[in-house]
Structure 1
Amino acid sequence: PLQELAAKLHAQFPEHYPDANHKPEMAIALTPFEGLCGFRPVEEIVSFLQAVPELRALIGEVAAEQLERSGSDDPRGVSAALRVCFTRLMKSEKKFFVDQLNTLVKRVSQEAEEGKDTSASNGDLLLRLHSQYPGDIGCFTIYFLNLVRLEPGEAMFLGANEPHAYLHGDCVECMACSDNTVRAGLTPKFIDVLTLCEMLNYTPAPSSSKIFPATQSQLDPSVYLYDPPVPDFAIMKIEV
């Protein structure tokens, strides 16, 4: 959360939000690494809404059509429509979303067994996540959030209010001095859907925009600096 929200959450729910600080963070890959980060471009989300009927059933026809009609010339309208769709997904009644998820997994599994292309349903990632978190609403977030792949040494910066999840691989994680995390899925820990949906940054952007480059030092060519746009931390990589 941002600083202001962090202070509010800490005052109201100190057992879940133990301090009043914000929590931007950075992940630097040590191995090939995968994570979800930030909202996909709207065109990609709309494509999934049209290809995955189980997702559309959870969102609802009215909200789905609102997102489909939103134009790039109206960023506020796009963000508002995206907020409605994502909130409807995350607030779905549990039995309903579990039924839809099971239907989707069964369909995609059958298509995969028949050798069909399941990329329109993001099939490979769906089945992998469902095997790790069966019946979890977070399995549907792959249709909203960018899949970011990092090679060793590459990094992604996660600003406050940026939706994200680490999926696979090892990384060095550096963050502001805070233990505040607002979770809504793909976790066994405390979940706070209402706060998450209210606080998120609903600005769509491509996955490439989430990769944060290191800058080689002009004083020492063996030093690379990861310098995010926050004053809390920076990271140096030294090659020997």
Structure 2
Amino acid sequence: MGDDTSKAFQTLVRAGISEECATTKAALAVCFKKLIHARKDTRRVCSLINSFLHRLDNGERGCLTEATVEVIRKMAVDFPGDVGIFSPLFLNHIILEPGECCYYAAEELHAYLSGECVECVGCSNNTIRAACTPKYIDVDALCEVLNYRMGDPSYYLVPPMKLRGFEHVNEYAPDCKDFTLHEIKVPASDFLY
């Protein structure tokens, strides 16, 4: 994405400028756009990926967790030469355990990597892809609609709440009027159901 671009973003963050500030979001947007548009220069992207993987192999992790490093390595195998291999550097890597829920509103960059889940999507939501897929890619459309919101991963988690009057029902209700998910767990020993 370029030293000047990344330094501009780092300067704002280190100066304590809010993640919600339009200037900070705009700087992040420039970083992401430069990265994702680099896909056109496949030789350069492959060189950068190889250099990045070499650094990871040498233990240079920065703030990356081992789980995120594993994701990056798997992406490099599954999507060789794809600029999307760098996308975990822009995302919160969240590992959901059974019974956990997260919610991403429209305009939020996210990716589902593995496992089983229930995914609820609004009727008017479009899926716009920019990397790591054989499907149609529209980089410009994705970059245009993203909100470039930054924050702690816990922001996205939706805790289950017991539904009043229904002891076997957990309700997952994100801050969105369109979705509520009920999980019903009836013990095998309960013959009333």
TM-score (norm 1): 0.68
Cα distance between partner residues in 2 of 1:73 and 1:101: 30
Cα distance between partner residues in 2 of 1:62 and 1:107: 21
1:52-71 CA distance string (max 9 Å, x none):
xxxxxxx1121111111114
**Which residue in the other structure is 1:136 paired with?**
82
Cα distance between partner residues in 1 of 2:161 and 2:69: 36
Q: Does 1:60 align with 2:6?
A: no
- Secondary structure (helix, strand or coil) at the match of 1:145 reads coil
Out of 225-234 and 191-200, give the one that drifted further: 225-234
Letter in 2 for 1:67: F
Written as runs of structure 1 = structure 2, the 5 A alignment for 1:93-132 is: 93-109=41-57, 111=58, 117-120=59-62, 123-132=69-78
Relative CO higher for 1 or 2, CA cutoff 8 Å, sep ≥ 6? 1
Written as runs of structure 1 = structure 2, the 5 A alignment for 1:183-202 is: 183-202=129-148
Q: Does 1:162 align with 2:118?
A: no
- The alignment yields a C-alpha RMSD, in angstroms, of 1.8
Cα distance between partner residues in 2 of 1:218 and 1:128: 43
Residue from 16, 26, 29 that aligns with 1:72: 16
**Which residue in the other structure is 2:190 paired with?**
none
Is the strand fraction higher in 1 or 2? Answer: 1
- Secondary structure (helix, strand or coil) at the match of 1:197 reads helix
Give the share of equivalent positions with the same residue, in percent: 35
Q: Residue 179 of structure 1: CA displacement?
A: 6.7
Larger radius of gyration: 2
- Secondary structure (helix, strand or coil) at the match of 2:123 reads coil
Cα distance between partner residues in 2 of 1:63 and 1:107: 21
Residue from 86, 105, 120 that aligns with 2:32: 86
- Secondary structure (helix, strand or coil) at the match of 2:6 reads helix
Runs (4+) off by over 4 Å: none
- Contact residue 118 and residue 124 of structure 1 kept, 8 A: no
Q: Residue 156 of structure 1: CA displacement?
A: 0.9
Letter in 1 for 2:52: L
Q: Residue 94 of structure 1: CA displacement?
A: 2.7
How many residues get paired? 176
Structure 2's unaligned 5+ residue stretches are 187-193
Structure 1's unaligned 5+ residue stretches are 1-58, 112-116
Cα distance between partner residues in 2 of 1:190 and 1:98: 21
Letter in 1 for 2:112: Y
